[in-house]
Amino acid sequence: MINLLQTLIRGPFDVVERVFSAVFSPNANPFLFLGTLSFYFFWIVAISGIYLYIFFETSISGAYDSIEYLTHTQWYLGGIMRSMHRYASDAMAVTVTLHLLREFSLDRYRGARWFSWITGAPLLWLLFASAIGGYWLVWDVLAQYIAVTTSEWLDWLPIFNSPMARNFLNEASVDDRLFSLLVFLHIGIPLALLAGMWIHIQRVSHSKTIPPRGLALGSLGAFLAMAIAKPALSQAPANLDVTVTNVGLDWFYLNIYPLFDLWSVEGVWLLLIAITIILMLLPWLPPLKKQPTAVVDPNFCNGCQRCYVDCPFGAITMKPHDFRPGHQQAVVNADQCTSCGICAGACPSSTPFRRVDELVSGIDLPQLTVQTMRSNTDDAIAALSESPRIVVFNCQHGAELSTLKSSSVALISLPCIGMLPPSFVDYVLRRERVDGVLITGCPPEKCYHRLGSVWTEQRVEGTREPHLRTKAAKARLRIRWAMPHEAENVKREVRHYQLELARDLSSSDTEQGSTSRD
Amino acid sequence: MTRPLKILARVIAYGLFITFIVGFSNWPTYQHLAPDQATVKLSFQVAGELKQPCRQRSAEEIAEMAPNMRLLDDCPRERLPVDVVLKLDNQVLIDERLPPSGLKKDGVSVIYRHLSVPAGDHEVALRIRNSAHNQGHDIEKSIAITLKPAQVLVIELDNKDGTIVFQ
């Protein structure tokens, strides 16, 4: 059921992301920066909100008039700020919703990642509460409609001695103090939202909260265009002696309100509570099978901090070494470890060239140690009987490639491609044991373990430790990222690569033959 | 994709984004109340009578009490529920028994209801009983009123003089 739902959601995302990557490039594809854009839009809303607050009057008559002044008299700045405040909030609702759906469809919310998911659910309530409070402040007919409906909605909770809706019976019921309270809430709730957003990314290292410059300027320009093309305007002033009949709604935030005319208040509460509970329980529906987590061997840990820096989930910390004074040692927090093995791929001691009987790394996955990786690789290469011989290192979350194994193709599967120490590429190519290497895994923007593909690219390019050791290895290495449903693309790539290698081999044989004849 | 084509595609993408955000931020409008309807809001808070009257404690009872707690009268705090009946053109719209608030059931009874009714001429009657009498109502009032479309008729209780107010 969950798998089906994920597949149904992932399909449209894949299509849209491919199109946007072609148009914007993957480095500025908005669909790959949904969480980042949410942070960015929050800051636009906050800065424009601070400006609006300077001119806002906290009284019944002053509230509407001060916003009218900003909108019409000071349209060139106040009006623009008001529109950007509104449209950036709307865009944030969109990016937050898409971010939630995308992470769900990529199955990046279970296991050790429960924390980010769970802390995200209350943020939805805070985001909507912030926005609804903002509409209230304008004190036009929309504010009146929201005020009356929201108070009737909240009155269902057994926390008020006197119904809150009695404050909005008619014009005589409202007083200026209400606006002071509303302003306080409209500042306090967004601050709580910001604090929640900070908590939300606490277990995500290298999180991006600033979008690429092109995307930042592009979206800012889009909000400016919206502000000029369709400025945010107030509706008629609120008048509690007359019921609101027809009202313009912001459907991004107020979509729940028409339900109150169709359902009972209890029904709406039930719906919202049910959605919240299901969201909170999702990481355990079903729970992710816990794999053994990374283990540090102090004998081989030199405290280099590479694993600490590379871990995508902040599961590694450093402490004073157990028995080497003045040195540090990595420590794994098992609750945060996703068993991706990226730490083992980063460890300088994870090199297959080490001449020891038992190859032990400073940090290793018990279920697939570097020693096992090396022996699996040796066995797979030994079984190759036809040229050109290729070793394919693949990520278990990328394309399904088990049928690729043949007499000329060896397949080594890893929990994440970031677990592959680059020295393994040098290792399999030495003494021409194989003719080529292909690395494949989930695309960097969709990497199941967030940064495995990114780190691998950087290690191969030589911009991140550990590097490839030889230039020859770089020349004989191909990288082809692919999603689970793109196995055929990888297989095609392998076939093409083998044909190219076969051509190279035959031409070098010919050259050697002519050299020996000379 | 060539560079001019990319730029055109980006312009289209931003255009769609702008249209989507501006569109759903403003339209469609929502019809909350039909144009020929008016609203009646009934809201008040009133204390029911005490469920049991005060009684004088006997000398034995007072002697058994701690010296600082010796009060002559024993007055149970619990109040009676309040019955409320709202009629529009002799049709019952609300007929409820409002329990007293508070853990000890010693607080006021509170009601807030809003109803949509057709605009036009109506006779509105409200009856409230907050005592233990079995028949009749302690407070009642009816008026003939012409409700304009979208008008809000608020029915309250003036707690100072205990009269029903239609406004």
CB interface of B with A, residues 96-125, below 8 Å: 101, 107, 110, 112, 114
For residues A18-37, give the mean pLDDT. 92
Residue A510, pLDDT above cutoff 70: no
For residues A295-306, give the mean pLDDT. 94
C-alpha dist (Å) from residue A314 to A307, A333, A335, A414: 10, 9, 11, 21
| Percent of chain A residues topping a pLDDT of 90 | 78
C-alpha dist (Å) from residue B153 to A231, A337, A384, B37, B142: 35, 62, 89, 12, 13
Q: Which residues of A touch B29 (CB under 8 A)?
A: 246-249
**Average model confidence (pLDDT) across chain A:** 92
Q: Do B41 and A94 touch (CB under 8 A)?
A: no
Give me the half-sphere count of Cα atoms (radius 13 Å) on the Cβ side of residue A456: 33
For residues A113-119, give the mean pLDDT. 94
User: How do residues A376-410 score in pLDDT, each as one tens digit?
Assistant: 999 999 999 988 999 999 999 988 898 899 999 99
- For B152, which of A219, A242, A247 is closest by C-beta distance? A242
Q: What is the pLDDT of residue A222?
A: 96
Structural contact between residues A344 and A236, judged by C-beta atoms closer than 8 angstroms: no
Q: At A518, is the pLDDT very low, low, confident or very high (cuts 50, 70, 90)?
A: very low
User: How do residues B56-81 score in pLDDT, each as one tens digit?
Assistant: 999 999 999 999 988 899 888 999 89
Predicted structure pTM score: 0.89
To which H or E segment does residue B113 belong? strand B109-118
Q: Do B34 and A245 touch (CB under 8 A)?
A: yes
Higher pLDDT: B34 or B131? It is B34
- For B29, which of A87, A166, A246 is closest by C-beta distance? A246
Q: Do B32 and A244 touch (CB under 8 A)?
A: yes
Q: Is A34 helix (H, G, I), strand (E, B) or coil?
A: helix
Q: One-letter amino acid identity for B43?
A: S
Furthest-apart CA atoms within chain A: distance in Å: 109
CB interface of B with A, residues 131-150, below 8 Å: 149-150
- Beta-ladder partners of B129: B83
| Cα–Cα distance for residue pair A292/A369, rounded to 1 Å | 11
Residue B100, pLDDT above cutoff 60: yes
Residue A43, pLDDT above cutoff 50: yes
| Cα–Cα distance for residue pair A220/A213, rounded to 1 Å | 10
| Cα–Cα distance for residue pair A245/A240, rounded to 1 Å | 12
Min Cα distance A190 → chain B (Å) is: 20
Residues in contact with A36: Cβ distance below 8 Å, sequence separation at least 6, in sequence order: A208, A209, A210, A211
Q: What is the pLDDT of residue A138?
A: 93
Higher pLDDT: A223 or A161? It is A223
Residue A174, pLDDT above cutoff 90: no
Q: What is the pLDDT of residue B1?
A: 73
Min Cα distance A400 → chain B (Å) is: 30
**Average model confidence (pLDDT) across chain B:** 90
Residue A284 CA to chain centroid, in angstroms?
19
| Percent of chain A residues topping a pLDDT of 70 | 98
C-alpha dist (Å) from residue A517 to A114, A132, A511: 68, 86, 10
For residues A75-104, give the mean pLDDT. 96
Q: What is the pLDDT of residue A177?
A: 84
Q: Do A94 and B39 touch (CB under 8 A)?
A: no
Q: Do A161 and B31 touch (CB under 8 A)?
A: no
B81-120 as b/e, with b when 16 or more CB fall inside 10 Å?
bbbbbbbbeeeebeeeebebbeeebbbbbbbbbbeebebe
